Amino acid sequence: MSKTETLAKIVLGPVLLMQGMYTRRVTPKLPEAEGEREGVSGVGEELRVLILGDSAAAGVGASTQAEALSGQLVSRLATDHQVFWKLWARSGLDSQALLDLLAQRAPERFDVALLSIGVNDVTSQLSAEQWIALQQRLMDVLRDQFAVKQIILSPLPPMHLFPALPQPLRWYLGNRAARFNTRLAGLAAGNDHCTMLTTRLAPVAGSMARDGFHPGPAIYSVWADDAARAIARRCRASASDKV
């Protein structure tokens, strides 16, 4: 735990706790996006894709999966591939809960996994060190149990800009999210099979869901664009290695 975070918890602890409880009580509970969570789309070389994680992966903030991360990503990848895709995501999941979910799934093979997890860890008491250890475990499970060749890590959003969060809670969680992202970037840099997106998920007017906490379709679109480009680069690199 950083000195800044430790000092903030000592000085602001009661305020942060009260603000967290209040925010949970008044923030609208939005549903996950409706629609299919697996399918086949496009024509071309086969590409097996897994999208997994928390409420953002599940499409909260979009009406349908077609407007959410999964649908927008698959539509981009399907221009060059026959995409066999699945979405394993649920609102409220933290990293340990996602590991538990994966443990319940039968082993199968995916070429690419797009991971969105961490916001519920940021709002917990988990340290950055504990969180990064969980990310390594998630990557190991994806590689060992699901034969994933390429893991795309999504950065934590800029929580210091979330309109649903009051100050100083917004500053405190934003600082934690930034530190988690720094550690995640270091983890990705040390793994050849891993890419961390540099997507700027900063909210602008009209881009977030009405709860002020989740992405809207406009942010999902930017996110899907960046993920599709990262996947395409890795696919090209892999094809070059085979030549």
| Per-residue pLDDT tens digits for 79-110 | 999 999 999 999 999 999 999 999 999 999 99
Give the number of C-alpha atoms closer than 13 A to the C-alpha of residue 56, restricted to the C-beta side: 25
Q: Which residues pair with 215 in a beta bridge?
A: 208
Answer yes or no: is 135 within a domain.
yes
Answer yes or no: is 149 within a domain.
yes
Mean pLDDT of the region 146-166: 92
Contacts of 16 (CB under 8 A, 6+ apart): 8, 9, 168, 169, 172
Answer yes or no: is 136 within a domain.
yes
Answer yes or no: is 206 within a domain.
yes
Confidence band of 20 (pLDDT split at 50, 70, 90): confident
- What distance in Å separates the CA atoms of residue 73 and residue 222, rounded to the nearest whole number? 10
Mean pLDDT of the region 130-154: 97
The whole-angstrom distance between residue 168's C-alpha and the CA centroid of its chain comes to 24
Mean pLDDT of the region 111-118: 98
207 has pLDDT over 90:
no
Residue 19 confidence (pLDDT): 87
Peptide bond into 168 cis (omega under 30): yes
Residue 243 confidence (pLDDT): 47
131 has pLDDT over 70:
yes
Which secondary structure element, helix H or strand E, spans residue 234, and what is its range?
Answer: helix 217-242
Answer yes or no: is 50 within a domain.
yes
Residue corresponding to tokens 């409706």: 34
Residues of the domain holding 124:
33-242
Please check whether residue 182 is in contact with residue 176, taking contact to mean a CB–CB distance below 8 angstroms: no
Answer yes or no: is 92 within a domain.
yes
Percentage of the chain exceeding pLDDT 90: 72
Answer yes or no: is 105 within a domain.
yes
Q: Which range is least confidently modeled, 16-25, 50-59, 70-79, 140-149?
A: 16-25
Name, of 26-30, 165-169, 200-204, 225-229, the range with top average pLDDT.
225-229
CATH of the domain at 104: 3.40.50.1110
Mean pLDDT of the chain: 91
73-79 long-range contacts (CB < 8 A, ≥24 apart) are 73/49, 73/114, 73/224, 73/227, 73/228, 74/39, 74/41, 74/42, 74/49, 75/41, 75/224, 76/224, 76/225, 76/228, 77/42, 77/47, 77/49, 77/228, 77/231, 78/41, 78/42, 78/43, 79/42
Count up the domains in the chain and report the number: 1
Answer yes or no: is 193 within a domain.
yes
Strands 38-41 and 81-89: antiparallel
Mean pLDDT of the region 146-156: 97
